[in-house]
Structure 1
Amino acid sequence: MDGASNGGMLYHEVQESKLCAVHCVNTVLQGPFFSEVDLAALASDLDSKERQVMLQGGATTAAASSPGGFLSEDSHNVSLGGDFSIQEKASSVLQKALEVWDLQVISVDSPVAEPAQIDPELENAFICHLHDHWFCIRKVNGEWYNFDSLYAAPQHFSKFYLSAYLDSLKGSGWSIFLVRGNFPKECPISSSESSNGYGQWLSPEDAERITKSCNSVQASPQRVNWGEQHSDQPLSLLSEMEDEDLKAAIAASLMDSSLATAKVEGSTTESEDQDNTEKSA
């Protein structure tokens, strides 16, 4: 990915209802390319194809004997609340949306993803999934950012922290996917005026300023308050671990100082006692 895309700006979407799949796709593509209506259309198309396959393969006896059978079942890929069910299979809504842009979604546990397990810096984007939440970690203009829609702005990652963060996600039960292919080079920023309404363009400096501002207000990172099940994001856990390590280091330093002071005071006392003894003699 040569040159600064989108004039060096970052595209971020803040959580709206349960549309994290929409936010995830758009931040991978770095632009307001899809709306919930677009993904709903893809989901409906997938449902239609799945049912057609079931018809061709033959339904179960119970389904075939009932009026409409399995065809009357609710959509497997999208709910009325906009919560897209994106399964770990090639026909998923999210994967289909990215396939439009000639992008592939690959599990990091796949043999072809082995280089990414060793050095994730070699990749351009990761998609992370746990329960009903999806977000992307993306390299933009040579720098890594966490575009989790539960945060007010994208968070910059160092190359070292990227690897540690992905490892912490996997250790916490998250599914990680690579995104490979020809990413869109540009998305006219003017298009955001007619976008989905929850996207924003930020300079890296603005993103850093928002992040610092939110972190100064609350102890945990600037997570938008949506769903208690996502409040234990490993990023805050790592921050807490770093804080504990810092406290431990400070405590150890203070203890060493106290011991050193005690030794000095002890030596001084011994010296004074010895002088007093000599004077008495």
Structure 2
Amino acid sequence: MEGPSNGGLLYHEVQEGKLCAVHCVNTVLQGPFFSEVDLAVLASDLDQKEQQVMLDGSNAFSGDFLSVGSYNVSLGGDFSIQVLQRALEVWDLQVIPSDSPIAEASKYDPELENAFICHLQDHWFCMRKINGEWYNFNSLYPAPEHLSRFYLSAYLDSLKGSGWSIFIVRGNFPKECPIPASDANNGFGQWLTPDDAKRISVSCNQLQAPTAGESSSQPMNPSPSEADTIEEQEERDLRAAIAASLMDLPSFDTAKNDDGDAGSSTSKSSSDPAGNDDTVRSDADPNEAVDAKDEKLVS
């Protein structure tokens, strides 16, 4: 029986500068296979070939194209999808847009694939299946985050809805990194067991949780556990809002006075010790407040 790739370890790279394209390629391959210099060489080669095609053609806009500089690497270090494709082609891997006809099956069964590359603006990251389990290798995360198969599908749909470009990577992925881990110290790469990755993710999520009174925006890509917490908090906030709105409603006696009922002028005050039993206390628990008002409306 074939053993787990890389001895069961996960290779992850933490964001360094604007090298997310490098991190993305390496985590797809699960090893420090490429550096920023390697991708820059591929980008330069692509630029030269594209410029030669424009010079050989009769395109009226070739002069504008040649004056731009590079379409495959920005001054900030962001690389084009063509560069990532060339890098992965070295390992006989194919990069396919998710909206391609040959990628139709992945829309319904994404877990049958082995890797996805995601891009928005100037950020790249990959999701990769390792030893039968899916992980998010976003370099903005301190460690790879485990993804259930159900969450993988929902997460991909969410990314597409937010404008992310999704690419599928197919082919024979390397089973072992040819570079010994002891010689692979590139400053931002690390080898982790799945348990270590989980421990690091949980620890960092706890440290980054906002304290009371602090305003904080939600993370761009919340983990499944964070999504559950957010949903529970939203439900509590909703119940509290309903309770507050019900406490602001006028009592039936007050409503009668507003309608001109002369016999209702002696309505009970909420401050009367023998006062209205259906008045909701301002310090009541929100859930109790909802129940009390529901009973009042029924009666």
TM-score, normalised via structure 1 length: 0.77
Percent identity over paired residues: 68
Q: Tell me, what secondary structure is at the counterpart of 1:196?
A: coil
**1:110 is aligned with what amino acid?**
S
Rg larger in structure? 2
Q: What are the residue-to-residue correspondences of 1:149-164 with 2, within 5 Å?
A: 149-164=139-154
Q: 2:228 aligns with which of 242, 250, 255?
A: 242
Aligned to 1:255: 287
Structure 1 residues 14 and 2, CA gap change in structure 2 (3 angstroms): same
**Root-mean-square deviation over aligned CA pairs:** 3.0
Per the TM alignment, residue 198 of structure 1 is displaced from its structure 2 partner at its CA by 1.2
Shift of 1:102: 0.6
Partner of 2:72: 77
Q: Which runs of at least 4 in structure 1 moved beyond 6 Å after TM superposition?
A: none
Structure number having the greater helix percentage: 1
Q: For 1:96, what is the secondary structure of its paired residue?
A: helix
Question: What CA deviation, in whole Å up to 9, does each residue of 1:2-22 have, x standing for no partner?
Answer: 531000000000111111000
Residue of structure 2 in register with 1:181 after alignment: 171
Distance change (3 Å), C-alpha of 1:143 and 1:101: same
| Superposed displacement of residue 75, structure 1 | 1.6
Which residue identity is paired with 2:220?
A: Q
Could you report, residue by residue, the CA deviation over 1:251-276 in whole angstroms, capped at 9, with x for unpaired residues? 5997379739x98xxxxxxxxxxxxx
- 1:195-214 → structure 2 map (5 Å cutoff): 195-214=185-204
Change in CA separation of 1:241 and 1:199 when aligned onto 2, cut-off 3 Å: closer
**1:44 lines up with 2:34 in the alignment:** no
Q: Which runs of 5+ in 2 are unaligned?
A: 211-217, 241-284
Q: Distance in 1 between matches of 2:30 and 2:197?
A: 15
CA distance in 1, matches of 2:132, 2:13: 20
Paired residues, number = 242
**Deviation (angstroms), 1:62:** 8.2
Match of 2:26 in 1: 26
| Contact 1:138 1:144 (C-alpha < 8 Å) held by counterparts | yes
- The Cα shift of 1:81 comes to 3.3
For CA contacts below 8 A with separation 6 or more, give which structure has more relative contact order: 1
Contact 2:54–2:62, Cα closer than 8 Å, also in 1 = no
| Contact 2:137–2:144 under 8 Å retained in 1 | yes
The gaps in structure 1 that reach 5 residues or longer are: 64-68, 221-230, 264-281
TM-score of the superposed pair, with normalisation by structure 2:
0.73
